[in-house]
């Protein structure tokens, strides 16, 4: 398994645009690129955190080749809604007791 933890700082008034674009991208990666999915959390105010899970690094890296014009639009909408987007950590779990 391969996990990535993201941090987003959203512009005031752009929360709905950010969440909608994040959802579309996440569902695309899950349905078309074999992602195991992602969860979005509000840290506080306009600060959000998400973690995405992938079966392995190779599947994550291959996902970029499946992106298309539609995903480019969603990605642009998400980035326009944010003042900052960071991939904080890229992790390989060593011990996993999640259900």
- What does each of the 99 residues of the chain score in pLDDT, given as a tens digit? 999 999 999 999 999 999 999 999 999 999 999 999 999 999 999 999 999 999 999 999 999 899 999 999 999 999 999 999 999 999 998 998 988
Query: What pLDDT sits at residue 46?
Result: 97
Q: How far apart are CA 73 and CA 21, in angstroms?
A: 9
Contact, 18 vs 78, CB < 8 A? yes
Report how far apart, in Å, the C-alpha atoms of 24 and of each of 1, 44, 77, 92 are: 22, 23, 11, 25
2-91 — its CATH code?
A: 3.30.70.100
Q: What is the DSSP letter of 57?
A: H
Number of C-beta neighbours around residue 48 at 10 A: 21
- Model-level pTM greater than 0.85? yes
**Pair of tokens at residue 12:** 């005031």
């Amino acid at each position: 398994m391969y996990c990535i933890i993201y941090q987003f700082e959203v512009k005031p008034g752009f929360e709905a645009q950010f969440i909608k674009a994040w959802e579309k991208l996440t569902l695309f990666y899950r349905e078309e690129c074999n992602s195991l999915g992602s969860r979005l959390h509000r840290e506080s105010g306009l600060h959000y955190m998400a973690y995405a899970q992938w079966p392995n690094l190779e599947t994550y890296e291959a996902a970029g080749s499946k992106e298309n014009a539609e995903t480019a639009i969603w990605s642009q909408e998400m980035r326009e809604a944010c003042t900052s987007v960071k991939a904080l950590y890229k992790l390989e779990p060593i011990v996993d007791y999640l259900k």
